[in-house]
Amino acid sequence: MTKASYIEPVDGATYSLDIPRWCSDDRKPLLITAQKGISRDDIVTNDRSLWRYRAGLPVEIKAPISMGEGCTPLVQRPWGDHRPFFKLEWFNPTGSFKDRGTTVMLSYLRQVGIDAVLEDSSGNGGSSIAGYGAAGGIRVKILAPAYTSPAKIAQVHAYGAEIQLVEGPREESEAEAIRQSKTTFYASHNWQPFFLEGTKTQAYELWEDFGFKAPDNIIISVGAGSSLLGCYWIQGVAFSSADRSPAEVLRRSAIQLLTHRRQLSGRG
């Protein structure tokens, strides 16, 4: 397998992972080139955090910024006529699944020399980056819509991050972050590809929880789609051994989502 790099999937341009970036030269979303995935023997079983799947990352992270994220409870409960399993992601350190993406993204960024970041968020993403920034000694500034819930603003403040409220719709906070990215690295949970390297551990975890088999179906909440894309990237690895796999649904949804992200990135 060749060395991993950033890739702009439409024009095929690649960029070294040694130099941190959040978009291509012409400001399109990036991915990371395909990786081989992991087998059950690669799991670091004495690490009770998502870093047990570190062998699946595209680069070796020597010093993770970790607060014990991942390995969240999986409980079966009745829901109408069904008995689905619920993955209790609010048990993550700052209270959401975003910690999966953040721990990997900020650990990588710190390793390649980034000591201050920007993020735009109206909720859990901002809190997560503020929390992990504090844990890892990275300065954090959050651009948040003026309508953001006071509880989320308080959480960001509690972690010691700077917060700037931006008038207008949610997109204006992203536009402001992109303007400020000329001076501070834009560690966007929607743009920086290492975030998905962390969210894909949700799928590794389900695979392990279910005895190294894929569940029949997965219901995932989707905004910009980081959980869905994370699960999609590894479906060929973790889910390939399943008799019936959610792979095709994931594939179609992921392609729609990537197309949509690309269209949005062209709006200016």
Q: Which is nearer to ligand PLP, 15 or 85 (CB)?
A: 85
Q: Which of 10, 222, 255, 264 binds ligand PLP (CB under 6 A)?
A: 222
- Counting contacts by CB under 6 A, is residue 225 touching ligand PLP? yes
CA dist., res. 83 & res. 121, Å (int): 34
Phi-psi region of 262 (alpha: psi -120 to 50; beta: other; left: phi over 0): alpha
Which residue from 3, 93, 98, 114 is spatially nearest to 49, judged by alpha carbons?
A: 93
Q: Which of 20, 58, 123, 145 binds ligand PLP (CB under 6 A)?
A: 123
Q: Which of 202, 226, 235, 253 binds ligand PLP (CB under 6 A)?
A: 226
CA dist., res. 64 & res. 69, Å (int): 11
Output the residue with the shortest Cβ distance to ligand PLP.
Answer: 223
Q: Which of 96, 173, 192, 201 binds ligand PLP (CB under 6 A)?
A: 96
Helix and strand numbers, DSSP H then E, in the chain? 9, 9
Q: Which is nearer to ligand PLP, 7 or 231 (CB)?
A: 231
Task: Record the tokens describing residue 268, joined without a space.
Answer: 């200016």
Query: What angle is formed at CA 96 by the lines to CA 256 and CA 6, rounded to 5 degrees?
Result: 45
Q: Which is nearer to ligand PLP, 43 or 188 (CB)?
A: 188
Name, in order, each residue with C-beta under 8 angstroms of 116's C-beta and a sequence gap of 6 or more.
138, 139, 140, 141, 184, 185
Q: Which of 113, 168, 169, 223 binds ligand PLP (CB under 6 A)?
A: 223
Which residue from 253, 235, 252 is spatially nearest to 244, judged by alpha carbons?
A: 235
* Interface region with ligand PLP, contact rule CB under 6 A, candidates 53-61, 69-77, 216-224, 240-248: 216-224
Q: Please, what is the minimum distance in Å from the beta carbon of residue 252 to ligand PLP?
A: 16
CA dist., res. 231 & res. 46, Å (int): 23
Per-position x/- string for 176-215, each x denoting binding to ligand PLP as judged by CB under 6 A, each - no binding: ----------------------------------------
* Interface region with ligand PLP, contact rule CB under 6 A, candidates 32-40, 61-69, 172-180, 225-233: 225-233
Binding site for ligand PLP (CB under 6 A): 96, 123-125, 221-227
